Amino acid sequence: MKAACLAGIEKVTILERPAPEPGPGEVLVRVRTVGICGSDVHYFKSGRIGDQVIIPPFTIGHEAAGEVAKLGTGVTGLEAGQPVAIEPAIACGQCEVCQRGRPNLCAGVRFLGTPPIEGAYREYLVMPAANLFPLPKGLSLEEGALAEPLAVGLYAVNRARISPGETVAVFGCGPIGLSLILAARLAGAVVLAAEPLPARRAFALGIGADRVFDPQQTDPVAEIMKETGGRGVDAAFEAAGQPTALRQAIETAALGGRVVMVGIPAEDDWQIPSHLARRKELDLLNIRRSAFCAEKIIRLMESGRLKAAGLVTHRFRLEELARGLKLVAGYGDGVIKAVIEI
């Protein structure tokens, strides 16, 4: 099978590798669509995210959907040819956090495309059957591949306990910021957002953000304070991985509000305005990927409540992975979500 591997900083090479075989309880999947994630771009540009370092050649990619190709022994409820979305996290199931229902925090997790677990930019991969969610009729493989990033937004909105009538701010309207907006709207919140790129601002408005500010033209903090009568928002989401955006989230959160850190910063340390955060007694929430949300996303898409297919703006072949990663890294051509078709 063909596999696209990172061969060094900003280098991708296509290698021929043996297709894996499914063991007991596992399934071989013919990968069809893999979304390019901001975390893929981090690995492409710097070879690492924090202390997770890539040793080339290594295949990244984790936002995947495909078709069942072969069942390992003991697998029931799936059949060859069936389209499935893939949950990329394989938690150990045994440790304290797994037992407490927080498998996204499992220290022993194996996550597709995160060293040392090879990712999804290849023709075939093997996953435990429990990591596959059959796609209902009417949902595309692209929508299946979107389930993972959309799950992050839903998980963060659930973790922040957003309720109808609350007001939230979202700083950064990339795919994760947009997934936060979609989930916050479903939760019944009024959504204010900030984003410098015109195409993303337009998209945010199109999916139901109430106001979207351009931080290069106006001060989004002043605008959001004005919009909320000086009170600030119940919850502010940082979805840019930028120190400025985190500061703005803290500045716009209401007294006793929640600040939710969703973005992956390039730096190893965040700086926060400590006295402001302390006087407001803010709940500072970190988000680690997601848990139990991909299946909810699929249900929401199936029911028509969540329309997300439009997020995919660019499509590339496996051989064009480097082009796709560069486009996403440079925010070129109005890109929102680029996918690799295999």
Q: Which is nearer to Zn ion, 21 or 96 (CB)?
A: 96
Question: In whole angstroms, what is the distance from residue 87 CA to residue 227 CA?
Answer: 38
Question: Nearest CA to 270 among 295, 290, 294, 244?
Answer: 244
Q: 37 or 221, CB closer to Zn ion?
A: 37
CB of 230 to Zn ion, least distance (A): 36
Q: From the CB of 223, what's the least distance to Zn ion, in Å?
A: 30
- Residue 24 preceded by cis peptide, ω within 30: no
Give the shortest CB-63-to-Zn ion separation in angstroms: 5
User: Nearest to residue 167, comparing CAs of 214, 220, 236, 218?
Assistant: 236
Residue 224 C-beta: closest distance to Zn ion, Å: 27
Smallest gap from Cβ 166 to Zn ion, in A, equals: 26
Furthest-apart CA atoms within the chain: distance in Å: 61
Comparison of 116 and 304: residue with beta carbon closer to Zn ion = 116
- Residues binding Zn ion (CB under 5 A): 37, 63, 91-92, 95, 98, 106
The smaller minimum CB distance to Zn ion, of residues 69 and 125, is found at: 125
Instruction: Name the residue nearer to Zn ion (CB basis): 60 or 189.
Output: 60
For tokens 């930028």, name the residue.
242
In the complex with Zn ion, the residue whose CB is nearer, 19 or 92, is 92
Cα–Cα distance measured from residue 291 to residue 295, given in angstroms and rounded to the nearest whole number? 10
**Which residue is associated with the tokens 């601002």?**
201
CA distances from 55 to 8, 9, 115, 177, 255 (A): 8, 11, 8, 30, 46
Q: Which of 118, 116, 123, 110 is nearest to 34 (CA)?
A: 123
CA gap 31, 148 in Å, rounded = 15
Closest separation in Å from C-beta 200 to Zn ion: 17
